[in-house]
Structure 1
Amino acid sequence: MESKYSKYILIVLTALCVLLIGITSLRDGVMDPLRTGVGYFLIPIQSGVNKVGTGIYNELTDFTKLKGALAENEKLKDEIARLTEDNSRLQAERSELERLRSLYQLDQDYMQYDKIGARVIARDSEKWFQVFRINKGSADGVRVDMNVMADGGLVGIVTDVGANYATVRSIIDDSSRVSAMPVGSEYSCIVAGDLTQYEQGRLRITDFSKDEVVKDGDQIVTSNISTKFLPGILIGYAVDVTVDSEHLTQSGYLIPVVDFDNLQEVFVITDVKEMEEATPQ
């Protein structure tokens, strides 16, 4: 049985070989129609396959690029966040350094007074620092009536002291009155706290002698006749001083040297005026 099938297979293979030999012996002109027919059939298929392959390749390439771009974008976002954080930290450090330099200069300007530094920890108003608390108290040597400075000039006076804190009433508070004088003058005046006026960035100054000549920009400092404020501390600059209607005194306005919108660190002068002088105000 197996021998019979083998004979048939041998006959078919022999015939196929003869056919192939005959085909290859034909001239090229005879094969042209066959090649042309095959070309019409295969070329569109090959073109379609190429387009599909190219499309798949491009999609894979674009997907790979997109994944790379997304990964790079995430890295850039992280880098931007880090740089933003570093920039914020550096700005905060720069601001603190500038404040400390200002305090150092203030310390040098008033070397005649002993001082301790303190940080503002709370305030009684959401808008301004007319009454606020600092992180130094009786345990640090702070006492009632000690003068407080910042930003190159007078801030206010200590009104209440605990072991580890103190309350300061600033010169812009409505109840504040400071005996003052122009630099180099023998005439005194009063700097009156007034939150309504401070909303316009100034305070009232009153009771100038009618004989005093006060120009815009003149420095106003604490006078030597106050029982609470030490002499010679800059308060601000005079503006718009005019003779009152009675022609007996002059009054005007003062631009405070201290920024009461933003207080963070202050100096407390540990000398107390009442202990040194008992002269009535």
Structure 2
Amino acid sequence: MKNTRYFLFGLSAVCVCMIGITSLNGSLLNPLRNAVGYVLVPIQSGINAVGGSIYKEASALGSLKDAMKENETLKAQVDELTEENTRLRAEQQELERLRELYELDTQYMQYQKVGARIIAKDSGNWFSVFRIDKGADDGIKENMNVIAGGGLVGIVTDVGANYATVRSIIDDSSQVSAMAQQSGDTCMVSGDLKLFKEGRLNLGYMEKDDDIRDGDMIVTSNISEKFLPGILIGYATDITVDYNDNLTKSGYVIPVAQFDRLQEVLVITDLKEAGPEFDE
């Protein structure tokens, strides 16, 4: 009981003190408030700054993950569009080549033809000797003329059941009896792979008085042994008189076919029957 009285007495004293403190003038507590403010405000600001920084980092991390995911999606779309664009460009180029072959087919309607794709060629940058995907089973025979790119490409030299080999007019061993379409004067077009690096073929066997001039269309002649007449080879250029005998002249031919990127050709299935004047 004695301890209980002491406890009640102490509790009453604390209450009286608290009442007294609350009744004091607010100005007396201002220093205490200020002291507490100096201590607590920086701590609170620091906590807020750290919390804000953590929140920003978390938000940035989430945004980065979203951006990376979106980037992967966009990359996949770009790859798909690039592939589609490449395919469409290839189809467009093939369509243009086939359109050229169609125009060539129309230009030489007097001849029967078979279309073929090039499946192999010899080493080097030029299609001097190449193989096509049509052969004896498709009616292909040796000495059939091959055209593409607006004019003469070469001649079939070997035939298998489902393939054929073509020697082009730029090959070193190729010679074509030709003539100027304007005048009908004859000449000879000879292949030369070294010369063809300049985009030219040799043009010779012309008499000094022959009317063959720069810019004339050079076509296969009527007296050719193997080549059908009237097929465009190219255009004459740099025609000059030979100084060694002053009786002949020579020059060059710029062929119309592009022998660095042949892909499809037309094989003329008609064969030349007339005898030769020149040994080709």
The change in CA–CA distance for 1:6 and 1:122 in structure 2 (over 3 A counts) is farther
RMSD across aligned C-alpha pairs, in angstroms?
Answer: 2.1
The residue number in structure 2 matching 1:208 is: 206
- Is the 8 Å Cα contact of residues 113 and 266 (structure 2) preserved in structure 1? yes
- Is the 8 Å Cα contact of residues 214 and 239 (structure 2) preserved in structure 1? yes
Bigger drift between 165-174 and 32-41 goes to 32-41
SS in structure 2 opposite 1:73?
helix
- The residue type paired with residue 149 of structure 2 is D
SS in structure 2 opposite 1:33?
helix
The change in CA–CA distance for 1:113 and 1:36 in structure 2 (over 3 A counts) is same
Q: In 2, distance between residues paired with 1:6 and 1:261?
A: 117
* Cα distance per residue 1:46-94 (max 9 Å; x no partner): 1111111121112112222222222222222222222221221122111
The residue number in structure 2 matching 1:110 is: 108
The residue number in structure 2 matching 1:251 is: 250
Tell me the CA shift for residue 27 of structure 1.
2.2
The residue number in structure 1 matching 2:55 is: 57
Q: 1:186 aligns with which of 173, 184, 187?
A: 184
* Cα distance per residue 1:206-260 (max 9 Å; x no partner): 0112222222221100001112100010001100111122122221001111111
Q: 1:238 aligns with which of 236, 239, 249?
A: 236
The residue number in structure 2 matching 1:139 is: 137
Q: 1:45 aligns with which of 43, 46, 56?
A: 43
Q: Does 1:197 align with 2:195?
A: yes
Q: In 2, distance between residues paired with 1:87 and 1:255?
A: 34
Q: Does 1:229 align with 2:227?
A: yes
Tell me the CA shift for residue 17 of structure 1.
4.5
TM-score w.r.t. length of structure 1: 0.91
Structure 2, unaligned stretches of length 5 or more? none
SS in structure 2 opposite 1:273?
coil
The change in CA–CA distance for 1:160 and 1:34 in structure 2 (over 3 A counts) is same
The change in CA–CA distance for 1:175 and 1:7 in structure 2 (over 3 A counts) is farther
- Is the 8 Å Cα contact of residues 205 and 249 (structure 2) preserved in structure 1? yes
Tell me the CA shift for residue 279 of structure 1.
5.3
The residue number in structure 2 matching 1:268 is: 267
Structure 1, unaligned stretches of length 5 or more? none
Q: In 2, distance between residues paired with 1:126 and 1:15?
A: 113
Q: In 1, distance between residues paired with 2:87 and 2:14?
A: 88
* Cα distance per residue 1:116-169 (max 9 Å; x no partner): 100000012232111110000000010000000000000000000000000000
Tell me the CA shift for residue 271 of structure 1.
0.4
- Is the 8 Å Cα contact of residues 213 and 239 (structure 2) preserved in structure 1? yes
SS in structure 2 opposite 1:191?
strand
- The residue type paired with residue 270 of structure 2 is D
- The residue type paired with residue 180 of structure 1 is A
TM-score w.r.t. length of structure 2: 0.92
Bigger drift between 13-22 and 37-46 goes to 13-22
- Is the 8 Å Cα contact of residues 182 and 217 (structure 2) preserved in structure 1? no
Q: In 1, distance between residues paired with 2:75 and 2:220?
A: 55
Tell me the CA shift for residue 6 of structure 1.
8.6
Q: In 2, distance between residues paired with 1:169 and 1:123?
A: 10
